[in-house]
Amino acid sequence: MNSLIIFALLIALMLTGMPISIALGLTVLTFMFTLTSVPIESVALKLFTGIESFEIMAIPFFILAGNFLTHGGVARRMINFATSMVGHWYGGLGLAGVLACALFAAISGSSPATVVAIGSILMPAMVKQGFPKRFGAGVITTSGALGILIPPSIVMVIYAVATGGSVALGPTGQRVSSASVGQLFMAGVIPGLLLATLLGMTTFYRAWRNDYPRMPRASWAERFDAFRKSIWGLLLILIVLGGIYTGMFTPTEAAAMAAVYAFVIAVFVYRDMSLKDVPRVLLGSANMSAMILYIITNAVLFSFMMTNEQIPQQLTAWITAMGVNKYTFLLFVNVLLLVAGNVMEASSIVLITAPLLFPIAVSLGIHPVHLGILMTVNMEVGMCHPPVGLNLYVASGIAKMGITELTIAVWPWLLTMLGFLVVVTYVPELSLWLPRLLGML
């Protein structure tokens, strides 16, 4: 009964149009004051201790790094490099967009940032070369979603924070710990590259079928020159992933390194940003970080309340008693997350559902890393469909298209992403092979 009251109150508050973070906080306070005997002082204490996590510091640093790179000319050089490599194929600029999004995703950690950085440059160029606006918008909107699957990923950090410190019991009663940020980053490499390939194949097929424009083949000298000019941005991929894998620094330290490195190359190497622009970038990053941290704070309170009421344990016992196997449960998780993606943004969904799903998944033999990648892919899909798909709104502003028209434009690529979601769901080795090979599992 308490579980029903909690979720009914949360849904009712969200239906009023109230921001998710405030709805979470009011749900907790209302429940604590009226239906439990938990001292209210413990709520205040949890507000501070809940976000007292070293891993959370990675979020503002990755946001800052992404903003420096977005404003610092790195995206333009990556587009030039990608165009020199694949521009002569059918749909050349579209394929270059997929490749550029994949490269930028490996240094930004954010899908909207990837859409802005690549789309604002590539969309006008595609229209000018004769591509239909719908085609360009569909490519950039969906390829931009790679920003949260190819590491580093802010959503993966949030999943690690939401389940951090949790220990659940596996099918044989063994204790299973939650996934670390480093494990999730490495687990996202293979699925990220596979999804980029599938989106590229969809782009190529549609361009070939409709005979869209191709660019002249670049010479190897031109390709090398484009690579040389983009090398400083590409090196950031090695710094982040190489540093984490070799143990030189933690994911949080890698995020701090990325922010400093992005500042240096934007201001002093490429010189596309002056020192007087830096305060504006810092303020924008602070605003976005504050918003996410406020959501995390209230979500931690909500998780504390659910744990206090033993809701995850009750759900685990109920599902086990129902005889649900892991394949049916994974289908249920996908449906739940796709439906949630219609009304909530990615950070809120992960923060609310991960603490609930983690113990149930572990009890059914599902690896915490596999669950994390599965949730991340679901969040990718959610960012590309209405009514609250963030990538749609960002791309809509860039392409000057309505949400309805843009929704129709993304369908071919969205169907590809849904097919990929099925593969990731039922082939866990896609996520687990690389971290296991590297000795991280």
What is the model's pLDDT at position 51?
Answer: 67
Interatomic CA distance for residues 139 and 115, integer angstroms: 10
DSSP 124: H
pLDDT digits (tens, 9 = 90+) for 103-144: 888 887 778 888 888 888 888 888 888 888 889 888 988 998
Task: Point out the residues of the chain with pLDDT beneath 50.
Answer: none
Interatomic CA distance for residues 66 and 51, integer angstroms: 22
In Å, how far from its chain's centre is CA 193?
14
Interatomic CA distance for residues 65 and 56, integer angstroms: 15
What is the model's pLDDT at position 1?
Answer: 64
Q: What is the pTM of this model?
A: 0.85
For residues 260-270, b (16+ Cβ closer than 10 Å) or e, as one string? Answer: ebbbebbbeeb
Domain boundaries, the chain: 19-32+40-437
